[in-house]
Structure 1
Amino acid sequence: MAVDLVILSVVFVSITVVSIAIRLFTRTVILKNIGVDDYLICVGAVFAIVCSVTPIAALQYGLGRPTADQKPEQVAPYQKLLLTSSVTYSVSATFIKLSLLSFYLRLSNGPAFSALVYCVIFAVIGFGIGSITAVLLQCLPLSSLWDEDAAVGAKCIKLVDFYYANAAINLTADVVILFLPIKILWGLHMPLRQRIGLCGLFGLGGLATVAGIIRLSSLKSLLASSNPTINIVTPLNWSFIELNTAIFIAGAPALKAFLRQYMPALLGSSYSPTGITKYGSSNKTGTKSRPTKHNSIPLGSVSDKNGSKWVKNTAVVSSGPGHENGNGERDSDNDSQENILQNYHGILQEVTVSVKSERKSEEGRSMSSGKADY
């Protein structure tokens, strides 16, 4: 059990460090667009790392071994380390949620959604402060956790009941945050495949929610336990699994941009310096493309300065993502998702307008009516 805790802690901390490094590099170097959500997730990552490594330090003070084998001098450092892990868990979870909600504000497409996000932000902050306060005031005086003299006459809450309530509320907040942007994302004017992919990317947060559910169920082992030093290991494991998984998933958009820039083959696409990524079926030239629908709108004809030539203009309006290839077609890929997940300036429907000009000589146009063709 102790070995499993060490392995899980090292693996997930390593994933978090790499994830944060890639996220910061992508935001500052590739996208040059770092925001408040990036700073908040960094704070959450620092506390998640502390939450993950403190149980390793507690192993030498009796964690993972029978409570009867714990020596009196080990009780104080053991309790202080578990207290640190509990506090840092609440702090990290709060900052991770605030980072996601800050990211949602960048996606906001109206005052109603922004107001809803701000309400959730205030609730998350209040719950975070309440959780930290409850941990620090679980016993009065707090030193009664490790000092037998202070324990005489001390008043303590039932810690397991607190864990249950905290985990349940935390899980509810995770579900709310998970589904908060789905309605907006699903209502975007883009192909069904892209909407499903975009909602799926946001839905990856459900993995962290699943970890939270397992953590909640693992607390049963602490009820009336005669060996809390052993039974608390599993909830501790799921605590830092939940935090580090959430941090990794929150960095998925930045990771996708990083891979698209340096390892596009992993995404099943080709990358060019212009940022064009090809998908779909192959055309005659071997370039993969998928044309989008064009709507031609005649703008009329105007004469040149000397009145000898006429220019007939037609605007071709293409709604939807993609770039033009060498054949005049557009490549329909996930660029609209990239704009949403990377630019963070709101959800925009990109419209590309190209103007075709057809010049007619004065001799070529009809002179029968004596009127210009407008």
Structure 2
Amino acid sequence: MSLPPSEIQYQKEHINDNVQPNIYASCFICLPAAFIAVGLRLVSRRMTAGGFGRDDSMILLALLFTSGFVTCCIWVTVLGMGKQQILMDPENTVEFVKVTLAAQILYNPAIFFTKLSILFLYHRIFPSRTFTRVLWGVGAFILAYSITSAMVNLLQCVPIAANWNPKLAATAKCVDFGSELIALSTINAVTDFVLLVLPMPILWRLHVNLEKKIKLMVMFALGAATVIVSIIRANYVSTISFTNGTWANSFGAMWSVVETCLAIVAACVPTLRPLYEKIFGKIGGSTMGSSAAQLAYPQSGQTIGSGGGASYKMGAFGSKSADSNYTGKSSVTESNYKDGASVHSFTRLRDDV
């Protein structure tokens, strides 16, 4: 597609604008951070008796798709992303469009599996019947949104080859991709906020002092950074351009990299307490010692929270249990860390754990 004279003039006036270093920085800083977070998460898993769970499987899948997405972002940057479009070698245009489409497709499962990991972690920690229904509802909505988003990205033009073949573009059926992308980005930010606030009412009802509640809520509220980044990304996505895509769309790509990687890091933070305690000692003595361990790593299926309005009285976080209307078999057990430390934890026995 030929550019209008006004667009060509604008790009010539800004010919030296270059955000490629910013894109490379986001890729080469954020992706290793995500790998480190997942690695530390797995190390923490080995330090407890909770074992490898579905939440861990989902975060590994998220890391896999995020790696593919970030790789595509690096690839398109090499091809010209981050500079004015008139500077891109015309021979790279088809490859650029194809890799961009691949990045858009990989973004969806990267975000989906991260959110699914968070939902599974919530279920592992707070498995009351009422909260489980809420998790299923939120999960179903996120699944529907993810499928819709994937289909919009994949089928933005039919036939798909019309995205890079001008001969097919004249007869192709294409959606208003800009409007669709803005809507989907907004929904994505909303679901991030929902995931952030989901555990807060349960944490607030724990029978502990205010200081402990706040510390635990802060630990889970680190996902607020992801919400902020999602909003920033949605703002840049609204400036999508088809006449200067290598420049205008570079900001959305950069913040998408930050979002996918930061979401993984935020999803891993609540699970790292055992490792932190082993290295630095208990946080505030017994104040946060066994509490965070039980929340991040329920031992043998340990539960926190309640169904039907009741809540577990955890005392100093991890000694005794009471007042649960959960109908499964329950017992008080002592679970051992591999380094010899032990915590008393309220457990429930379920066949699927």
State TM-score, norm by structure 2: 0.78
CA deviations on 1:106-139 (whole Å, 9 max, x unpaired) are: 1235211111111111111111111111111100
Distance of 1:34 and 1:122 partners within structure 2: 24
Residue 339 of structure 1 and its aligned partner are, at CA, apart by: 1.0
Q: In 2 relative to 1, CA 219–106 (structure 1 residues): closer, same or farther, beyond 3 Å?
A: same
**Structure with greater helix percent:** 2
Asked if the contact 1:94–1:125 (Cα under 8 Å) also holds between the matched residues in 2, the reply is: yes
Q: Deviations over 1:26-79 (max 9, x none)?
A: 213444521000000110111112111212111232222222233332111101
CA shift at 1:166, angstroms?
0.9
- Give the aligned partner of residue 64 of structure 2: 46
- Contact 1:66-1:229 within 8 A present in 2 as well: yes
Aligned equivalent of 1:346: 303
Q: What is the match of residue 113 of structure 1?
A: 131
Q: Distance in 2 between matches of 1:339 and 1:32?
A: 9
1:162 corresponds to which residue? 180
Correspondence 1:163-182 to 2 at 5 A: 163-182=181-200
Query: What RMSD, in angstroms, separates the aligned Cα atoms of the two structures?
Result: 1.9
Choose 29-38 or 145-154, whichever is displaced more.
29-38
* Partner Cα distance (2:225, 2:246) in 1: 28
Assess if the C-alpha contact under 8 Å between 2:223 and 2:267 holds in 1. yes
2:261 to 244, 262, 268: 244
Corresponding residue of 2:292: 337
Confirm or deny: 8 A CA contact 1:194 1:337 kept in the other structure: no
Give 5+ residue unaligned stretches, structure 1: 265-269, 272-276, 280-330, 354-374
Q: Which residue of 1 aligns with 2:89?
A: 71
**Would the aligned equivalents of 2:272 and 2:296 in 1 still touch at CA under 8 Å?**
no
Looking at structure 2, the residues matched to 32 and 189 of structure 1 have their Cα atoms a distance apart, in angstroms, of: 23
Given that 2:189 and 2:227 are in contact with CA atoms closer than 8 Å, whether structure 1 keeps it comes out as yes
Aligned pairs (5 A) from 1:1-374: 1-31=19-49, 33-222=51-240, 226-261=243-278, 263-264=279-280, 270=281, 279=285, 331-343=286-298, 345-347=302-304, 348-350=312-314, 352=319
**Deviation of 1:105 (Å):** 1.0
- The letter for the 2-side match of 1:101 is L
Task: Determine helix, strand or coil for the equivalent of 1:190.
Answer: coil
Aligned residues: 290
**CA offset digits 1:239-280 (Å, max 9, x no partner):** 01011111111111232321211x21xxxxx46xxxxx763x
Partner residue, 1:290: none
Larger radius of gyration: 1
Q: Structure 1 residues 33, 138: closer, same or farther in 2, change over 3 A?
A: same
Deviations 1:301-327 (A, max 9, x none): xxxxxxxxxxxxxxxxxxxxxxxxxxx
Q: CA deviation at 1:222?
A: 2.3
Equivalent pair of 1:194/1:334 in contact (CA under 8 Å): no
**Structure 1 counterpart of 2:130, one-letter code:** A
Among the aligned pairs, what percent are the same residue?
24
Cα distance change of structure 1 residues 179 and 332 upon mapping to structure 2, 3 Å threshold? closer
Provide the secondary structure at the position in 1 that maps to 2:303.
coil
Higher relative contact order (CA 8 A, sep 6+): 2
CA distance in 2 between counterparts of 1:340 and 1:55 reads 36
Aligned structure 1 segments of 4 or more residues deviating by more than 2 angstroms: 28-32, 59-62, 68-73, 107-110, 219-223, 253-256, 331-334, 348-353
Report the structure, 1 or 2, having the larger strand content.
1
C-alpha contact 1:208 1:246 (8 A) present in aligned 2: yes
Deviates more, 1:104-113 or 1:41-50: 104-113
Query: How many Å separate the matches in 1 of 2:264 and 2:128?
Result: 27
Gaps of 5+ in 2: 1-18, 305-311, 321-353
Distance 1:37 1:246, change over 3 A: same
Deviation at 1:87, TM superposition (A): 1.0
Q: CA deviation at 1:174?
A: 0.9
Letter in 2 for 1:162: E
Rounded Cα–Cα distance in structure 1 between residues aligned with 2:287 and 2:185: 43
Q: TM-score, normalised by structure 1?
A: 0.73
Distance in 2 between the 1:253 and 1:136 partners?
A: 34
